[in-house]
Amino acid sequence: MNNPWRLFLVGEALLFLLALWQIMSNPALLILLFFGIFNIVLVVRKKKQRTHFNNFQLVLGGLIVFISLLSSSAMWMMLVLAVVFIGLKGVELSGIDMTKNTFWRKKQMIMVNTKESGAHSGERKKHHWFGNERIGNQAYEWDDINIDLISGDTIVDLGNTLLPKEDSVIIIRKGIGRTRILVPLGVAVCLDHSALLGSVLFEGEEQTLKNEQVKMYSNDYDENPRRLKIITNTLLGDVEVIRI
């Protein structure tokens, strides 16, 4: 699990403990909470057909529990933290840049940091086992991609890099999750995908795979010098190759 999610879960757990302490330190609020839970338990445990009064009792109990929980300031802080974090994570995963049209970036120059060629043997990169990941939020120098993941959604954005006039490779192996690869126009693509269960979208054509493998090429793959080969393997999940 990525570090931001760990911090989020730890923060939510601490705020939840603080909310419990605030409720337990307020006798009236604690009695109200127990009264709501008691009504819900009575209705849930009733095996015979429920009456209109039981439905009213269930709604009333849920409303009382809801009000008692929201009477805690820590519970409000939990909700605010969840909304802010999930909102920011959603924007990050979608790749939306909220500041790209602002006036201070109209004349912005973006430079790609490069480095001199050297020995690449023995280089190691740490991969997360779980969690969503987006590659290509900012301009970067291209290097072949090889990802192994147990669960999570993956977005590879090639719009912020320049693919060389040769064969480039992306390899993604995962257990469960959705994969989206954003490929600029002018790049020939070969997709070699296998899945236990899932769909694949390529060049506007969508197929459903059930323990199958499919290999698809763009129309200009044979004559285009700038080519990208994508190899993906998933147990459960969809793969999309989208032109940008």
Query: For the chain, how far is it from start to end, CA to CA, in angstroms?
Result: 30
Q: Which of 101-105, 166-170, 185-189, 207-211 has the lowest mean pLDDT?
A: 101-105
Phi, psi of 206 (to 5 degrees): -115, 135
Calculate mean pLDDT across residues 218-236.
Answer: 88
Q: How far is Cα 203 from Cα 241, in angstroms, rounded to an integer?
A: 7
Closest residue by Cα to residue 153 from 127, 128, 173, 176 = 176
Residues 6+ positions from 63 with CB-CB distance below 8 Å: 36
Which residues are bridge partners to 130 per DSSP? 151
Q: What is the pLDDT of residues 134-171, one digit of tens each?
A: 777 777 777 788 888 888 888 888 877 878 888 888 89
Residue ranges per domain, the chain? 3-94, 130-243
Band of pLDDT at residue 36, cut at 50, 70 and 90: confident
* Token pair listed for 192: 């070699």
CB 138 within 8 A of CB 160: yes
Q: pLDDT at residue 104 above 50?
A: no
Place of tokens 């009264």: 35
Q: How far is Cα 200 from Cα 215, in angstroms, rounded to an integer?
A: 11
* Token pair listed for 238: 């969809």
Q: Classify residue 193 as exposed, middle or buried by CB count within 10 Å of its CB (0-12, 13-18, 19+).
A: buried
Closest residue by Cα to residue 184 from 228, 125, 140, 150 = 228
Q: What is the pLDDT of residues 195-210, one digit of tens each?
A: 888 889 988 888 888 8
